[in-house]
């Protein structure tokens, strides 16, 4: 005669025969009996998924993660990952459910793993993307993990605001990036690109590629992705030359002249170029503004759109144009006259 209840594959108690407990043992046997019955019965709906021992299915997870019994994950139903099992990322949940989910016990949380292991769960579906990310500075410097930028439980998959129309998507991306790049994000949000809602951070930056750009900024491909159209007027080299006043040959790979980012995104520091932060307002920084900073006692000043940029009017780079010293007020005054002349060209 079996002592305890039999359990089916579906986790339900199907029968129990009467137990004869000797009077000297009730204090021991009764508690064990209760624990066994409760443990074998499980929670209603917590059945093994067919063919996968220990897996309970998304419905069971969502039965508790509704904001009342456990953290609210109902937004997961609207996410791109809604068709993926919770247990694909979190591991089998049967034991977690059996203990009532207390304190997140007996379940995996990839975001709590050591940095070097956090991306492993993502490789199950996004192997190429993760391999690219692992070569970026975000990964090699352990500056940002997948989970710092992405929340797979949200629509749009970002760790911040919910994505929707373009304006909301821009806001969500900018808010996510601002956690680490606050200055650049604030500047970008002032730009015409952001104000018009035509571009986001990820229009230019790809955090899953080693170089972290969507195209090469050195040969202007980055900007010409959009501005190379006939509509925006930069579809030929002649048009680009004309934009810069016919003073600069389109030869950025050798000298940096006519590189879009040199004028529209000058670096914010003289030393350490090109790896220092760059201005993200996308607006040229005039030499006259540099003289204002010099008058305020700022030294050394940041580069402006005409001087101080490595490879542009740089004495260290032959062919980069007549050299100018960004810390010299007289040079900046002369350059300001050129700057204004170019700005007045039809």
Question: Which of 68-77, 152-161, 165-174, 305-314 is least confident?
Answer: 165-174
Contact 210, 137 (CB under 8 A): no
**pLDDT score of 314 more than 70:** yes
pLDDT of residue 14: 34
Question: Which of 8-22, 134-148, 170-184 is least confident?
Answer: 8-22
Mean pLDDT for the chain overall = 80
**pLDDT score of 5 more than 80:** no
pLDDT of residue 108: 93
Please state the rounded mean pLDDT for residues 232-256: 73
Question: Which of 42-56, 66-80, 187-201, 233-247 is least confident?
Answer: 42-56
Of 103 and 38, more confident: 103
Reduce the DSSP state of residue 103 to 3 states and report it. Answer: helix
Contact 295, 319 (CB under 8 A): no
The Cβ-side half-sphere exposure at 30, using a 13 Å CA radius, reads 7
pLDDT of residue 162: 55
When pLDDT is cut at 50, 70 and 90, the band that residue 34 belongs to is: very low
Q: What is the DSSP string of 206-229?
A: -TTSTT--SS-TTTTHHHHHHHTS
Please state the rounded mean pLDDT for residues 282-296: 95
pLDDT of residue 244: 77
Compute CA distances 335 → 102, 248, 324, whole Å.
68, 14, 9
Taking each helix axis from N to C terminus, what angle separates 329-344 and 287-295, rounded to the nearest 10 degrees?
Answer: 150
Please state the rounded mean pLDDT for residues 278-307: 94
**pLDDT score of 222 more than 90:** yes
Ramachandran sector of residue 211 (left: φ over 0; alpha: ψ -120 to 50; beta: rest): alpha
Of 156 and 19, more confident: 156
pLDDT of residue 6: 36
When pLDDT is cut at 50, 70 and 90, the band that residue 178 belongs to is: very high
**pLDDT score of 45 more than 70:** no
Please state the rounded mean pLDDT for residues 105-118: 91
Q: What percent of the chain has pLDDT over 90?
A: 49
- How confident is the model over 68-83, as pLDDT tens digits? 889 999 989 988 899 8
pLDDT of residue 78: 87
Q: What percent of the chain has pLDDT over 70?
A: 78
- Please give the Cα distance from 193 to 33 (Å, whole number): 69
Of 92 and 244, more confident: 92
Q: Give the global pTM.
A: 0.76
pLDDT of residue 158: 85
- Please give the Cα distance from 133 to 127 (Å, whole number): 10
**pLDDT score of 35 more than 70:** no
Of 247 and 16, more confident: 247
């Amino acid at each position: 005669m079996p002592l305890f209840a039999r359990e089916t594959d579906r986790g339900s108690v199907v029968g129990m025969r009467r137990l004869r407990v000797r009077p000297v043992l009730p204090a021991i046997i009764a508690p064990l009996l209760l624990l066994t019955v409760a443990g074998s019965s499980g929670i209603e709906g917590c059945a093994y998924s067919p063919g996968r021992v220990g897996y309970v299915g998304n419905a069971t997870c969502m039965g508790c993660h509704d904001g009342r019994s456990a953290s609210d994950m109902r937004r997961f139903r609207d996410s791109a990952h809604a068709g993926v099992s919770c247990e694909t990322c979190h591991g089998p949940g049967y034991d977690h459910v059996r203990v009532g989910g207390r304190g997140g016990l007996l379940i995996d949380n990839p975001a709590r793993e050591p940095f070097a292991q956090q991306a492993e769960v993502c490789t199950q579906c996004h192997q190429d993307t993760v391999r690219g990310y692992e070569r970026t500075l975000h990964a090699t410097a352990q500056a940002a993990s997948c989970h710092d930028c992405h929340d797979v439980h949200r629509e749009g998959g970002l760790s911040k605001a919910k994505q929707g129309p373009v304006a909301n998507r821009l806001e969500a991306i900018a808010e996510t990036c601002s956690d680490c790049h606050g200055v650049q994000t604030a500047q970008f949000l002032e730009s015409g690109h952001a104000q018009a809602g035509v571009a986001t951070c990820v229009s230019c930056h790809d955090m899953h590629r080693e170089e972290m750009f969507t195209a090469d900024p050195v040969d202007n491909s980055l900007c010409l992705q959009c501005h190379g159209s006939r509509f925006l007027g930069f579809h030929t080299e002649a048009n680009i030359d004309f934009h810069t006043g016919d003073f600069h040959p389109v030869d950025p790979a050798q000298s940096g002249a006519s590189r879009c980012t040199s004028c529209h995104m000058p670096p914010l520091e003289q030393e350490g170029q090109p790896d220092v932060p760059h201005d993200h307002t996308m607006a040229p920084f005039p030499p006259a503004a540099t003289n204002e900073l010099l008058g305020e006692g700022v030294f050394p000043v940041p580069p402006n759109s005409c001087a101080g940029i490595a490879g542009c009017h740089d004495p260290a780079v032959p062919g980069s144009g007549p050299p100018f010293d960004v810390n010299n007020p007289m040079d900046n005054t002369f350059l300001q006259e050129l700057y204004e002349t170019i700005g007045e060209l039809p």
